[in-house]
Amino acid sequence: MEIKVLGPGCSKCKTTYQVVEKVIKENNLDVKLTKVEDIMEMMNYNIMTTPAIVVDEVVKIKGKVPTESEVKEILGI
Catalytic residue IDs: 10, 13
Beta-bridge mates of residue 4:
34, 54
CA distance 56 to 3: 6
